Amino acid sequence: MSRNPYLNRSMIRAVEQFYGRQREIERLMARLGSQAPQSVSLVGQRRVGKSSLLWHIAQPEIHARYLENPDTYVFVLLDLQGQQHLDQAGFCRVWGRQLKKAVGGRLEVGAIGDFAAVEELVARLDETGLRLVCLLDEFEAVTGNPAFGPEFFGFLRALANKYPISFVTASRAELRGLCRDRAIAESPFFNIFSRVQLGPLDEAAVRKLIAEPSAAAGVPLEEHRDEILALGGHLPFFVQMACAELFEAAQAGQPQQAERYFAQEAANHFDYLWEHFNEDQRQLVGLLAGGASVAPEQVHLLQDMLADGYILEEGAGVRLFSTAFVSFLQRHQLIAAVEAAPLQRPRPEEGATVAPLPPDRDPFPHIIGHSEPMRRVYALMERAAATDATVLLLGETGTGKELLAQTIHQHSQRCDGPFVAVNCGAIAEQLQDSELFGHKKGAFTDAAMDRAGLFEAADGGTLFLDEIGETAPGTQVKLLRALQEGEIRRLGDDRPRRVDVRLICATNRRLEDEVAQGRFRADLYYRLYVLVLTLPPLRQRRSDIPLLVEHFLAGRDIDDQALDYLPSYTWPGNIRELENQLISAAALAGDAPIGVDHLWPRLRQAPTLQAADENLVGQDLDLREARERFERVFIQDKLERNNRDLEATSQALGLSRSRLYALLNRYGLKAE
């Protein structure tokens, strides 16, 4: 029988078989090998492979591959899992033993039991031209331990200031958030870290992990990929375990037994996950297992669990990462025993709603409109301004998304910082990275000098990305990284740059449809879906039209008959179209009051849905006549709303273009 290549950690810790973490390894080693030592905080949830990654970068083969002078580095790996009993002296002793082992014969090392002995050894390493890299796994065992006070973290910061030493910590969350009190969280030690996020494996890495080791061992598992993904999801620890069990079962000629073997092997790890989920996470897991709907207030948590790999996308929905995990929870009566089903993703229209502001409250007087839909938007704007969360503005073209973005910024704690706006659709795809993230001199043919991008220009303030759906796939990857890690990298530059930017994005597209069509990244969509404001089209706030007319005309006269025409039109171009109509009418009227004759012909001639409703009801029409009248008005309305684009109109109506042409001819409608 062939040796199982997936057993224990032999596979995941084999340098040539470490799948899916190449980008993270390159980033880590680039920072450790830089001229000025850099420290890195590796952040990822349980079972994503943080310990394996630390072990990996401690290996000499990796040093030889990525470092210019690997012999001048001393890598020390401290596994602090379960070490909550340690005090400062114990930490120094453990560190000393590992240092002695790592230095080998290059330097004589005596006993180490306190800060002074540690610093003495680090100084001797520096004198001999050696650089220390200290890898600290499960560092929350220290940050949450009462035995380690501010003086301990002050000592580590002092070492980093005086000597060429780098720290790489692995933890399940941002280090400051894992400190037991505020005094420790505010230690300058944590300022030296840049963050690298570790999430689930991507699809390509999972495929390689399943296919390559098994094929090399003579028991190919490629045909069982769907079973493995159902059991292990994209979490490397569980994928490896599922592969190991399927390998054994396939060799025994009983692949159908793999699920049972996996369930037995994974039970303790499932129990560990459940024990460490908080109450909100447990509630969401229960909903997912039962196929129930996610409440609007749970959307942010859903995003986080998607990013961590505990939830996976499946078709138009999402599911828990492992069917065996669902069975485990049901078997132990931790959740209701219901049949698991993919959960439908929440759509933007299902986002959080709030009660509209009362009519006598006007927090944004420069925005015109007192209708109920707008007062509801104002209530959401107040909440958005009070937080630093990402905002996604949805709405048709011309509804005023940039004005709302600017207003949220002006009423936020970042109001003294810059507000930088850019229309992504106005930037050629090949230039988007340079515009947003900047470039180094020589990064491409016309890069004659270093140039900061819009993220750096917005540092300390707000960056408004209009038409976010127009961004190129490569740019979407970089946007996701900027959101997750708070850092960007200029084109042609190896050095990451920290940026403090609040992001507001806008689109007139249905991003969930773009995700389904593969044109927009699902992980970025869920990162943007935090605070969602949907701006109503003008046809849904007709009572605001007289106020807008008064604002745009600024005292110009318009007769009542002309004014009566405006609310009955559908306004596919919304406020922008209304403003352009009034500018045109004022120019045609000259010094005279604006009349009906000064309005565009389509306002005077085109019937509207509202008018159709009024004209159909109570008239002596048979069903065929009423249907034809409504059909004509309905098609005319769709034409206007799609700017008379026949392709878009036919899609909106669910008709072929030939059928649409036939109906236009039948009702005497013109596309142009």
> Residue 504 maps to which CATH number?
3.40.50.300
Length of the chain: 672
Residue 103 lies in a domain: yes
Residue 591 and residue 621 share a domain? yes
CA angle (46, 48, 51) in 5-degree steps: 85
Can you give the residue range of the structural domain that contains 404?
384-536
152 lies in the same domain as 107: yes
Residue 599 and residue 492 share a domain: no
pLDDT-derived band at 570, boundaries 50, 70, 90: confident
Domain membership of residue 289 (yes or no) is yes
For 165-174, 439-448, 619-628, 639-648, which range has the lowest pLDDT when averaged over its residues? 619-628
- Mark residue 472 as left, alpha or beta (left: phi above 0; alpha: psi -120 to 50; beta: remaining): beta
pLDDT value of residue 575: 94
* pTM, to two decimals: 0.51
Tell me the backbone φ, ψ of residue 294, rounded to 5 degrees.
Answer: -85, 130
Residue 367 lies in a domain: no
Of 327, 350, 373, which residue is a domain's last?
A: 350
Give the per-residue pLDDT at 337: 41
Is the pLDDT assigned to residue 401 strictly greater than 60?
yes
Is the model's pLDDT at 555 over the cut of 50? yes
Residue 52 has pLDDT above 60, yes or no: yes
Residue 483: the pLDDT is: 87
**Looking at the structure, do residues 508 and 581 belong to the same domain, yes or no?**
no
- Per-residue pLDDT for 651 more than 90? no
Confidence category of residue 350, pLDDT binned at 50, 70, 90: very low
pLDDT band at 17 (very low <50, low <70, confident <90, very high): low
Does residue 473 sit in the same domain as residue 604? Answer: no
- pLDDT at residue 239 tops 50: yes
**Position 343 pLDDT exceeds 60:** no
The average pLDDT across 613-629 equals 62
* Residues 293, 278: Cα–Cα separation, whole Å: 19
Same domain, yes or no: 496 and 572:
no
Residue at a domain's end among 173, 197, 221 = 197
pLDDT grade for 288, boundaries at 50, 70 and 90: confident
Q: Cα 308 vs. chain centroid, distance in angstroms?
A: 11
Choose the most confident range, by mean pLDDT, from 103-112, 181-190, 432-441, 616-625.
432-441
CA distances 241 to 7, 265, 299, 607, Å, are 8, 8, 30, 66
Domain shared by 506 and 415, yes or no: yes
Neighbours of 305 (CB within 10 A): 24
Examine residue 376 and state whether it is found in any structural domain, yes or no. Answer: no
> Where residue 38 falls among pLDDT bands split at 50, 70, 90?
confident
Confidence of residue 295 (pLDDT cuts 50, 70, 90): low
Q: What pLDDT, on a 0 to 100 scale, did the predictor assign at position 344?
A: 45
Please say if the pLDDT value at position 463 is more than 90: yes
Confidence of residue 539 (pLDDT cuts 50, 70, 90): confident
Structural domains of the chain, count: 4
Is 68 a member of any domain?
Answer: yes
Which has the minimum average pLDDT: 57-66, 84-93, 134-143? 84-93
Lowest-confidence region among 293-307, 389-403, 500-514: 293-307
**DSSP class of 131:** E
Q: Are 412 and 388 in contact (CB under 8 A)?
A: yes
Is position 4 within any domain? no
Do 414 and 515 fall into the same domain? yes
User: Is 576 found in the same domain as 452?
Assistant: no
Q: Do 432 and 575 fall into the same domain?
A: no
Taking the C-alpha atoms of residue 245 and residue 258, their distance in angstroms, rounded to an integer, is 5
Q: Answer left, alpha or beta for residue 42, where phi above 0 means left and psi between -120 and 50 means alpha.
A: beta
Q: Is the pLDDT of residue 189 over 80?
A: yes
Instruction: Write the single-letter amino acid at 67.
Output: L
Q: Burial-class residue 67 by CB neighbours within 10 Å (0-12, 13-18, 19+).
A: middle
Task: Measure Cα distances from 470 to 424, 483, 503 in Å.
Answer: 6, 18, 16
Bridge partner residues of 393 (DSSP): 506, 533
Q: Is it the case that residue 345 has pLDDT exceeding 60?
A: no
Joined tokens for residue 340: 């698991």
Q: What is the mean pLDDT of the chain?
A: 83
Q: Based on the fold, state whether residues 130 and 39 are members of the same structural domain.
A: yes
445 and 528 housed in the same domain: yes
Structure confidence at residue 456 (pLDDT): 93
Residue 531 belongs to a domain: yes
Query: Does the pLDDT at position 613 exceed 70?
Result: no
Who has greater pLDDT, 595 or 652?
Answer: 595
pLDDT of residue 196: 80
pLDDT at site 621: 62
Which residue, 149, 176, 197, sits at the end of a domain? Answer: 197
What is the mean predicted confidence (pLDDT) over 364-390? 90
Examine residue 85 and state whether it is found in any structural domain, yes or no: yes
Query: What is the number of other CB atoms lying within 10 angstroms of the CB of residue 439?
Result: 22
